Chains A and B, each alone.
Chain A
């Protein structure tokens, strides 16, 4: 189907994924901010956990308060390791009789094994596709298929029937916009995608636009902005460690992470705005004027809505004050890079 739409496909985590459609990444990106874009994110892992103690048992692996997720609510959390590093980031839904997890494609096998080894009985939903409908018109569009969609709160989840097909829908996303993530039986996904794309407001979006949208929204990409060597505190994700977990600990790396919470981590994730028009890419080192290393870029590119180059990455905490200037030296030319707060584009999430 992606090829039908003229997509350029690239292999990613064992899937053929659409990077961009003929209109191009900038156009797809802007369409998402202005109307609605549909992304196929079926490569992501969808896992269910059953049993009365699933939330409690999951807490042995993640830093968030899983027992405190109300029925029908969705929460972002992190698998951590004994050194406080991040093994994956994920969304957890309290679906009443089960927990529903969405994890990163490249991590899903390891996550599954981790859940099993913690005594949980995970079920990988191999037969489900995942579509993301994102943008300010997403609610209007989806409510034509299921009126209840418009009433859903941000970070809530519901079972709704779309075009005769039962779907699990979350009002969440990865673009900084209002929108939904739709878990649909794989054999009905293409038809549903075509129906959604037939709506005037909706255009297809590829992985390229998904990446520029999430970068502008200041959201982390696992394996780039966060990984097993970055802690939730360094990454600025402390809001994902709820009060009870801070008081009780009980997750891998808890002592290191809680100690960082009460002092200062050595480095922090921040936004960077390179001077000029040249994008700075992942892996670019940042220094002071004497060439002393202060950090580096973990995601960087062009922000279509910002209209210029943007980046995020890490810097020594003393150098993370907004307005400070660091130096990048791509291809031997020095470029001043200004520290800024994230996100680059104000979020437009549904309030309610």
Chain B
């Protein structure tokens, strides 16, 4: 079982012990184009599954990032304030958004594993 999960909204969630790291996928950054600003949640914020957790501003438009699971934000990637382009260059590592402590880890089971996500993206044409 891989420790990486994906949502249909093109977010990835990496499970690291009792913490989950959240970011957007390579497919998402390609769709958004040049990213110029990321409005990250505050540390300590409780996010609920399906609610807005962050906003990504590309040159063209703002896009909401919805929480794929519920939990409490424990850390945010401060380096994105000066280098938002990290999300374009390395979305699934350096370009992570925030870390959270899930309130209901079973919600992770509803998300896709990497092979299912690859099929999902392939199906988008």
> Which residues of A are interface residues toward B (Cβ below 8 A)?
19-20, 24-27, 29, 208, 211-212, 277-279, 281, 301-302, 304, 309, 331
Could you give 18 example pairs across A and B, Cβ below 8 Å? A19-B60, A20-B33, A24-B33, A27-B34, A211-B60, A277-B36, A277-B37, A277-B81, A277-B84, A279-B36, A279-B37, A281-B61, A281-B62, A301-B59, A302-B36, A302-B37, A309-B36, A331-B55
**Least Cβ distance of B26 to chain A in Å?**
14
B39–A208 contact, CB under 8 A? no
Residue count of chain B within 8 Å CB distance of chain A: 15
Q: In the complex the two chains form, what is the Cα distance from A304 to B84 in whole Å?
A: 13
Are B55's CB and A25's CB within 8 A?
no
B113 within 8 A of A: no
Q: Which 8 A-B pairs have the closest CB atoms?
A: A302-B36, A25-B59, A26-B34, A278-B37, A24-B34, A277-B37, A302-B59, A279-B57
B interface residues with partner A (beta carbon < 8 Å): 33-34, 36-37, 39, 55, 57-62, 81, 84, 88
- Please report the C-alpha to C-alpha distance between residue A212 and residue B59 in the assembled complex, in whole angstroms: 8
- With A212-B59, A279-B57, A302-B57 already in contact, the answer to whether A25 and B37 are too (CB < 8 A) is no
Are A208 and B62 CB-contacts (below 8 A) given A20-B33, A24-B33, A26-B34? no
Q: Separation in Å of the B50 CB from the closest CB of chain A?
A: 17
Q: Please state if B57 and A208 are interface contacts (CB–CB under 8 Å).
A: no
Do residues A278 and B57 form an inter-chain contact, with CB atoms below 8 A?
yes
Name, among A19, A279, A309, the residue most crowded by chain B CB atoms within 10 Å (CB to CB).
Answer: A279
**CA distance in complex: A25, B61 (Å):** 12
Residue numbers in B under 8 Å from A26 (CB-CB): 34, 59
A25 touches B60 (CB 8 A): yes
Docked CA distance A317–B35 (Å): 34
